């Protein structure tokens, strides 16, 4: 059970990027942030709430472009290398002394791209349930859910679909997650907050997989400490991906979290927090 003696101060912060877009984040605690969290596609900063509470650290959890309260990109480009530039700005602005960058799914690939381009900003990285070996077959269950309806007649209809696609999560957890990731429209219907083009079906899927595969080369050249956290019941990372990671970066650590699906932070937040604390203190 998660016991929190004194709840930390949490505030929403935002900044203007050079092109006029807004980037938003949640700032946890009053000290210099030690950890920066980067969520996955179709999620937002609140996906990390329980993990950060369990860790008890000062942290920043960003809303990625096209998600939460951050601006959408007019070009619809949410590739890891593009997102990494905004994450770098977020670290420089909000968490310049962060010792650990944690990214899940698309946020994990973005974290890898960031560590390759700006190693000065990423002394340690944790990548949650993703590798450059991801493809449309491995991620089909996730993309089927994300590419489903954008609007729903009622909150109950939205909740029912979310429960159907997230069998490893409690209903109370999913209800809270939806309230942070959807909004009610004037006619009473509900709509997801994220930009649909973050998961738009791509005509050149083969080219996209090729671009993601190029991140293996980035991993091979990383000097920072790296941990891959794999969801025990998730299909997104397979044994071949782990073998390729260990071939490319022999000092990379791999942790399997039993009972967790793709969203390890939602399914097993305390176990994930324990692992992150160990890496942070190493």
Q: Which residues are catalytically annotated?
A: 105, 129, 262
Show the CA angle centred on residue 72, arms to residues 70 and 75, nearest 5°: 150
For residue 192, list its beta bridge partners.
182
Per the structure block, which two tokens stand in for 171? 């209903």
Task: Give the whole-angstrom CA distance, residue 215 versus residue 132.
Answer: 6
E strands, 161-277, are 182-184, 190-192, 225-231, 253-257
Closest by CA position to 227, among listed 125, 111, 133:
125
Closest by CA position to 102, among listed 66, 49, 134, 61:
61
For residue 179, list its beta bridge partners.
none
Q: How would you write 215-245 as a 3-class SS string?
A: HHHHHHCCCCEEEEEEECCCCCCCHHHHHHH
Task: Give the whole-angstrom CA distance, residue 127 versus residue 175.
Answer: 26
């Amino acid at each position: 059970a998660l016991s929190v003696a004194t709840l930390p101060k949490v505030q929403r912060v935002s900044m203007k990027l050079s092109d006029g877009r807004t980037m938003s984040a949640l700032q946890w605690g009053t000290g210099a942030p030690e950890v920066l969290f980067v969520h996955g596609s179709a999620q937002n900063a609140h996906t990390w709430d329980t993990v950060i509470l369990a860790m008890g650290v000062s942290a920043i959890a960003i809303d990625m472009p096209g998600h939460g309260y951050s601006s959408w990109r007019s070009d619809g480009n949410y590739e890891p290398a593009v997102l990494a530039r905004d994450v770098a700005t977020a670290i420089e602005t909000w968490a310049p002394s962060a010792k650990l960058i944690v990214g899940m799914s698309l946020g994990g690939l973005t974290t890898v791209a960031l560590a390759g381009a700006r190693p000065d900003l990423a002394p340690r990285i944790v990548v949650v349930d993703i590798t450059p070996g991801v493809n449309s077959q491995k991620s089909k269950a996730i993309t089927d859910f994300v590419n489903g309806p954008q609007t729903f007649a009622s909150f109950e209809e939205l909740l029912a679909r979310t429960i159907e696609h997230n069998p490893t999560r409690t209903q109370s957890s999913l209800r809270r997650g939806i309230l942070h990731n959807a909004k009610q429209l004037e006619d009473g219907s509900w709509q997801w907050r994220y930009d649909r083009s973050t998961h738009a079906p791509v005509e050149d899927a083969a080219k996209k997989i090729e671009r993601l595969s190029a991140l293996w080369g980035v991993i091979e050249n990383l000097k920072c400490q790296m941990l891959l956290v794999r969801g025990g019941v998730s299909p997104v990372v397979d044994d071949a991906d782990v073998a390729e990671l260990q071939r490319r970066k022999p000092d990379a650590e791999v942790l399997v979290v039993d009972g967790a699906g793709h969203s390890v932070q939602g399914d097993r937040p305390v176990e994930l927090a324990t692992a992150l604390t160990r890496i942070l203190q190493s």
